[in-house]
Amino acid sequence: MANHFDKQMSEGRKADRRKLVLLGTSACFLLLLVVGAVVGSAYQDDHGGDGDGSNLSTHAMRASSKSVTALCSSTDYPQTCETSLSKAVPSDTEDPKVLLKAAVSVVLDGVSRGFEHSRLLQSNDSRVRGAVQDCQEMYEDAKGNINATLRSIIDHGVDKLPARSHDMRTWLSAVVTYQQTCIDGFPEGELKEKMKDAMKSARELTSNALAIIGQASSFLSLINLPSRRRRLLLADHHNRRPLATNNGYPSWFSKDDRRMLKERINLKPTPNVTVAKDGSGDFTNISEALAKMPAKYQGRYVIYIKAGVYEEQVIVTKKMVDVTMYGDGSKKTIVTGSKNFIDGTRTFLTPTFLAAGDRFMAMDMSFRNTAGPEKHQAVALRVASDMSVFLNCRMEGYQDTLYAHAHRQFYRGCVISGTIDFIFGDAAAVFQNCLLVVRRPLPNQQNIVTAQGRADRRETTGFVLQRCRFRADNGLADASQPAIRSYLGRPWKEFSRTVIMESQIDGFVNKDGYMPWEGNFGLSTLYYAEYNNKGPGAATADRVKWPGVHVINREEAVRYTVESFLEGSNWIPATGAPVRLGLNS
């Protein structure tokens, strides 16, 4: 996938070619080296656990130092890279799979030590004990992503590596996210600093893995292995069996949007089970329906949720893949809760609804957290599901409404409301044709729509808001109330990335556009970009003059379309979701 560092990488390809020629290495040997290096870095970086080549590392030999140096030259931590890759493979093998297994043992061991360190942090503070629990959950999630990367390389073969690069970098980006989530769970102080130090090696290794996998595609292309060609699809795509829609779209949607929606009305998928508060379905609550889902169900498991207010905390676990939920409309089918930080629940555990299983899909329903602004962090929806889709849904809260935690996410026609950082996280998420409603916070607070948390520049993550509208709700717009400053975003982490394009920005947004997190943190490393927006709040002349803030041209904006940023043509049309893969203009 493209990002603002791609240009530097492409300029380095000629240099890489010259290095390969100078090395005089055969194509076969180069291929094995690249594959071994990819996994070696990817797995040392990522973390520890159940690699089946764990005892191969004791027979390791030193790889060609010149080759390793060339391979590590594009990483941000070359010394860590070279040290990790010096442990290679048995000298008598040229089997790529053996190379991969040998490298996994080195990597998993290194990364596991970072996560396992959390177990050593003893404290009577309930916040610390809770953080340790969260770290162990993140450990399992990270391990799953590392193993998925390994399986992708082994199962699909070396020649498919360029085509699978985006998937692998997505999974490894999630590993970075989970490492940072573990650290963030600790209260400020000595133990948090110790956790940061423990994760240092793992973070560097993961970053190097992302760099190596990215450059491996370039290396392989030099020896004429097949690579996938991408095409930018500018039209809206629909599955032949469209899914349900909501009749509550904002009035500002265009005639083209409404015409498209009419093609989908009343075409709902047949449910496996029905949930109904009044007892007319198979279950009366959503959690019970999920608990009864067959453990090894093949295909899409569809849950229809009838109109009603469901007061429960719903968790779609990692094991619950390919789940679709749809309701009777985002104002009729409502999942609600009120867990919050002030009353003693860690932000990570406050979500009313958690979608963790891959390829989750929700339509025509609402996710609420009713704790209110005085309760501070109170998440309505947390999403860690890869290739997840939300259509015509509502996410309602105040601070931290939507936690777009990790992986690839697509939101279309949704209404998202809140106050402080109400769309936050480290996912690669595109919001298309969505209405972002900014509410009134507490008198001493300011509004910030986004707080994206990319912690490493190699990650594939970021928020893209395309053809959305930023609007103040009636309470915020009330001229009789004290004025509240509202901003488009602020950098939660050092490499925060948010792109707003082809959107309507109303005049309530402060002309600065963005506000700092703290001091100068991230101001030169973040990437905030705007393209072809309109409305009284879209003027960019008075935006903050930080190095990372940009007004981009069409060529740059294309990099953040659904097709380029999410490789969306590979998975979104198959869900039946309407999607604009390219730009609208």
- Which residues are annotated as catalytic? 421
- E-state strands within 414-453: 415-418, 420-425, 428-432, 435-438, 447-452
* Residue 170 bridge partners (DSSP): none
CA 118 to chain centre: 24
Q: Which of 104, 72, 109 is nearest to 88 (CA)?
A: 104
Alpha-carbon distances, residue 392 vs 39, 96, 435, 551 (angstroms): 40, 46, 10, 30
Task: Compute the distance between CA of residue 449 and CA of residue 439 in angstroms, rounded to an integer.
Answer: 10
Q: Distance (Å, rounded) from C-alpha 560 to C-alpha 1? A: 9
Q: Among residues 329, 467, 348, which one has the least CA distance to residue 393? A: 329
Residues 106/43, Cβ–Cβ less than 8 Å: yes
Contact 110, 205 (CB under 8 A): yes
Q: Are 44 and 206 in contact (CB under 8 A)?
A: no
Q: At what angle do helices 190-222 and 13-23 cross, to 10 degrees?
A: 70
Structural contact between residues 34 and 216, judged by C-beta atoms closer than 8 angstroms: yes
Give dist(CA 200, CA 98) in Å, integer: 28
Q: List alpha helices for 157-285, DSSP H.
A: 161-184, 190-222, 255-262
Tokens of 350: 């406050």
Q: According to the 3-state scheme, what is the secondary structure of 350-366?
A: CCCEEECCCCCEEECCE
Element containing residue 150 per DSSP (H, E): helix 126-156
Mapped onto helix, strand or coil, the DSSP state of residue 504 is: strand
* Separation of alpha carbons 44 and 243, rounded Å: 42
**Residue type for position 91:** S
Question: Rounded CA gap, 348 and 130, in Å?
Answer: 10
CA–CA distance, 461 with 55 (Å, rounded to integer): 34
In the structure encoding, which two tokens stand for residue 383, read together? 């999403």
Residue 418's alpha-carbon distances to 435, 470, 473, 476, 492, in angstroms, are: 12, 11, 10, 11, 17
Amino acid at 278: D
Amino acid in position 213: I
Is there a contact between 306 and 280 (Cβ–Cβ < 8 Å)?
Answer: yes
CB-based contacts of 575, cutoff 8 Å, min separation 6: 239, 243, 361, 389
Q: In whole angstroms, give the CA distance from residue 217 to residue 230.
A: 14
Q: Which two tokens stand for residue 434?
A: 């969505």
* Of residues 510, 554, 504, the one with CA closest to residue 533: 504
